[in-house]
Homo-oligomer: A and B are copies of this chain.
């Protein structure tokens, strides 16, 4: 899948049934079927170059609890339900059970927990997570894993890693048997059973394994399942987890259980250990990171995909990421600042509004504050990744890594 490589960094394109994803990619988080406060058409056109988000993330835990995966399936899947016709990735639900739910109990079968919304009891198993994600109809489905807590003793981290490996196998078995049930197989995009559906909705005879008739690029006809590497903060466990996950043979691999409280050098050490093992021709996804300088660093190390609530959550708290550093827009120094949020940014917010106006909106608790701050922060993150991809293509990441292109 690699198109260009500069050192360890790779520039590539992942093809999904809902369009391409240029990597390294940052994926905005759309927790409950919405990237908080941002209308979908703005999300599509965040940047000046009319290249907005190509992929967003949905949270299985949230969507399962509300509105429920069966409702989403009935509505034609998450793409159709939320009117998002580009790529979607769903997490396994494991991390939110770990971080949000109450009375969590982990057993071999799965995780029982109580909803943070209404206290009702639920059970997530690898099979259940697959069933939910297939019902949601994500393009990329994540294996059900256990996010090892931090800190964790070595034996605890090993036991957790072993559980995640057994769950990965169960995830894959269920997924392979049911992936054709995803809702968009009936909507003219993929192959449903032994019939190929053309874009017009007309059924045409299909040759098993043949390229799609109507598209020069073979689009996937079912979702893809990614495995997840765990192993706590132990490099040897991480390597072992990576090796044994790769043996299960997934079309992409994630590194989970990071950014849970450890130091940044430790995060990098874990990522580096795992990247040595992961196959170079498959997408590599570090879950739940990070600050702008972090995502640049990890992309330079050879990571292809990242996601984080930081740009969206920080925006709602008035924290803006700019080429001049992070700014807290509620600060009195911006009260009469007629400059744009970021003088180097070409997003629709920086094009139109001043810091003085954004400050006024924020201190007045106006709902537009959350909208505009989020749009800018996402544009900054997506522009950052665009710059990284451009630098890889040019063969020189030194400028962006040395901070000549300041990102924080």
Contacts and interface: CB of A to CB of B under 8 A. Distances in A.
Contact of A81 (B33, B34, B356, B370): B356
Contact of A357 (B38, B66, B82): B82
Contacts of A39: 42, 368, 371-372
B366 A32 contact: yes
Interface string A236-266: 0000000000000000000000000000000
27 contacts: A32-B364, A33-B357, A33-B361, A34-B366, A34-B368, A36-B366, A36-B367, A36-B368, A37-B367, A37-B371, A38-B368, A39-B368, A39-B371, A66-B360, A66-B364, A67-B335, A67-B356, A71-B335, A71-B336, A74-B336, A75-B357, A81-B356, A81-B360, A83-B354, A367-B367, A367-B371, A371-B371
Contacts of A356: 67, 71, 75, 81
Interface string A68-82: 000100111000011
A150 interface: no
Contacts of A203: none
Contacts of A66: 360, 363-364
A186 to B, nearest CB: 15
Interface centre among A66, A67, A372 (most CB of B within 10 A): A67
A202 interface: no
Given A39-B371, A75-B356, A361 B34 contact: yes
B40 A360 contact: no
A34 B370 CA distance: 13
A348 interface: yes
Contacts of A366: 32, 34, 36
Given A360-B33, A360-B67, A354 B75 contact: yes
A352 interface: yes
Given A39-B372, A75-B336, A367-B367, 14 more contacts: A32-B360, A34-B368, A36-B368, A39-B368, A40-B352, A41-B352, A67-B360, A67-B364, A74-B336, A75-B357, A76-B338, A82-B357, A83-B353, A83-B357
A85 to B, nearest CB: 10
Contact of A75 (B76, B338, B368, B370): B338
Contacts of A357: 33, 75, 81-83
A95 to B, nearest CB: 19
A352 B32 CA distance: 18
A124 B363 CA distance: 24
Contacts of A348: 41
A336 B81 CA distance: 10
Contacts of A361: 33-34
Nearest to A33: B360
Interface in A282-330: 316
Contacts of A363: 66-67
Contacts of A368: 34, 36-39
Interface in A121-177: none
A88 to B, nearest CB: 15
A183 to B, nearest CB: 13
A363 B40 CA distance: 19
